[in-house]
């Protein structure tokens, strides 16, 4: 079972260790498999440390190395919050929208809303309401009132509300659609919802 490092020194040591291990894997095999998810945990470590200079450098490396990675909701939460604190408004908004669609329940959970499971198709275990239980306490403890206000404003903005409603409607249809070609079209439609940020 994973234990979150409990001191600044341990966090920094874990960052150094994970980055070296990821690079070693790339040097040995030509690519990074990372079944453990170290690449995602590093987002959490940098956020908890508040080390946004090194985080920015890591984010750029991650985008180069994992350009087609679907990511992880907790990673996306830490990424969005870090970018917001860094003043990178456009990308922060995109990452928050990406988080919202990767798990429809995390943002409502953070805002203290009552959560009810949507009657939709959930594509993976990362998309269910229970996944909110996996958010590290250390991450929650480092989310401040300013972060929550930013999340709340964007979450209720017309743009993100529209995207969320479309996503839910598409996934309602996916729940009852069995024909492969129809499912493919619906998935493509869902995948295109964030293109407005490009």
pTM: 0.95
Task: Assess if residue 174 is contained within a domain.
Answer: yes
Task: Assess if residue 69 is contained within a domain.
Answer: yes
DSSP state of 30: S
Residue (of 7, 29, 44) closest to 134 by Cα position? 44
**55 contacts 47 by C-beta, under 8 angstroms:** yes
Task: Assess if residue 2 is contained within a domain.
Answer: no
* Residue 197: predicted pLDDT: 78
Average of per-residue pLDDT values in the chain: 96
Residue (of 136, 125, 132) closest to 111 by Cα position? 132
Where in the sequence is the domain holding 176, given as residue range(s)? 8-197
DSSP state of 71: -
* Residue 58: predicted pLDDT: 97
Task: Provide the 3-class DSSP secondary structure of residue 195.
Answer: helix
Q: CA gyration radius for the chain? A: 17
Task: Assess if residue 1 is contained within a domain.
Answer: no
Task: Assess if residue 161 is contained within a domain.
Answer: yes
Token pair 């003043």: residue: 87
* Residue 198: predicted pLDDT: 67
pLDDT by residue (tens digit) across 105-140? 999 999 999 999 999 999 999 999 999 999 999 999
Task: Assess if residue 3 is contained within a domain.
Answer: no
Question: Which residue pairs, CB below 8 angstroms and at least 24 apart, start in 108-114?
Answer: 109/135, 110/77, 110/140, 110/143, 110/148, 110/151, 111/148, 111/151, 111/152, 111/155
Task: Assess if residue 66 is contained within a domain.
Answer: yes
* Residue 14: predicted pLDDT: 97
* Residue 38: predicted pLDDT: 96
Helix segments in the chain, DSSP class H: 8-29, 38-49, 52-65, 73-85, 89-102, 106-110, 137-141, 145-155, 158-176, 180-191
Domain count of the chain? 1
Below-50 pLDDT ranges, the chain:
none
């Amino acid at each position: 079972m994973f234990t979150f490092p409990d001191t600044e020194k341990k966090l920094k040591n874990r960052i150094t260790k994970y980055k070296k291990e990821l690079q070693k894997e790339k040097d040995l095999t030509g690519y990074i498999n990372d079944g453990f998810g170290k690449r995602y945990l590093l987002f959490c470590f940098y956020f908890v440390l508040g080390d946004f200079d090194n985080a920015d450098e890591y984010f750029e490396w991650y985008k180069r190395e994992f350009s087609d990675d679907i990511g992880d909701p907790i990673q996306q939460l830490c990424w969005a919050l870090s970018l917001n604190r860094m003043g990178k408004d456009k990308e922060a908004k995109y990452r928050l929208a990406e988080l919202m669609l990767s798990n429809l329940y995390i943002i409502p959970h953070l805002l203290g809303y009552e959560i009810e499971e949507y009657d939709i198709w959930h594509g993976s275990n990362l998309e269910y309401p229970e996944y909110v239980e996996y958010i590290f306490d250390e991450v929650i403890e480092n989310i401040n009132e300013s972060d929550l206000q930013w999340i709340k404003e964007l979450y209720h903005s017309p743009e993100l509300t529209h995207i969320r409603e479309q996503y839910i409607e598409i996934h309602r249809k996916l729940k009852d659609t069995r024909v492969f070609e129809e499912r493919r079209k619906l998935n493509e439609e869902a995948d295109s919802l964030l293109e407005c940020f490009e």
